[in-house]
Amino acid sequence: MKPETRLVRSGLPEPPAKPAAGAPIHPGPVFASAFRTPGEIADSPYSYARFHHPTWHELERAIGALEGGETRIFPSGMAATAAVFAALLKPGDIVVVPSDSYHTTRALSREYFASLGVEVRMAPTANNAQLAVLEGARLVWLETPSNPSLDVCDIAAIAEVAHRQGTLVAVDNTTPTPLGQQPLALGADISAASDTKSLTGHSDLLLGHVSAKDPELIAKIDRWRTLSGSIVGPMEAWLALRSLTTLPLRLEKQSRNAEAIARFLAARSDVAHTIHPALPNHPAHELAKRQMQWFGPIVSFTLPSRRAAEKFLTASHLLMEATSFGGIVSSAERRARWGGDKVSEGFIRLSAGCEDIDDLLADLTQALDAARG
The closest alpha carbon to 309, from 345, 268, 276, belongs to 345
Looking at residues 168 to 197 of the shown chain, list those that interact with ligand PLP (rule: CB under 6 A): 172, 174, 194, 196
Q: How far is the CB of 175 from ligand PLP (least distance, A)?
A: 6
Nearer Cβ to ligand PLP, position 73 or 308?
73
Which listed residue (102, 154, 311, 349) is catalytic? Answer: 102
Instruction: Indicate the residue type of 175.
Output: T
C-beta separation of 177 from 293 below 8 A: no
Q: Which of 348, 314, 353, 349 is nearest to 330 (CA)?
A: 353
Residue 296 backbone zone (phi > 0: left; psi -120 to 50: alpha; other: beta): left
For the question of residue 172 being annotated catalytic, the response is yes
Could you tell me which residues are beta bridge partners of residue 95? 120, 139
Tell me which residues in 54-113 interact with ligand PLP (CB under 6 A).
76-78, 102
Residue 155 in contact with ligand PLP, rule: CB under 6 A: no
Site string for ligand PLP, 286-325 (x = CB under 6 A): --------------------------------------x-
| Least distance in angstroms from the C-beta of 75 to ligand PLP | 8
Identified binder of ligand PLP from the candidate list 7, 162, 184, 206, rule CB under 6 A: 206
Contact 191, 67 (CB under 8 A): yes
Output the residue with the shortest Cβ distance to ligand PLP.
Answer: 77
What is the per-residue binding string for ligand PLP in 208-227, x denoting contact by CB under 6 A? Answer: x-------------------
Of the candidates 9, 50, 61, 242, the residue annotated as catalytic is: 50
Within 10 angstroms of residue 231's Cβ, the number of other Cβ atoms is 21
**204 is known as an active-site residue:** no
Residues 335 and 326 sit within 8 Å (Cβ to Cβ): no
164 belongs to the catalytic site:
no
> CB-hemisphere CA count at 13 Å for 167?
25
Q: Based on the residue annotation, tell me whether 197 is a catalytic residue of this protein.
A: yes
Give 32 or 126: the residue with its C-beta nearer to ligand PLP: 126
Q: Measured between alpha carbons, how far is residue 257 from residues 11, 86, 253, 330, 353 in Å?
A: 29, 38, 6, 10, 7
Catalytic annotation, residues:
50, 102, 172, 197
Positions in the binding site for ligand PLP (CB under 6 A): 76-78, 102, 143, 147, 172, 174, 194, 196, 206, 208, 324
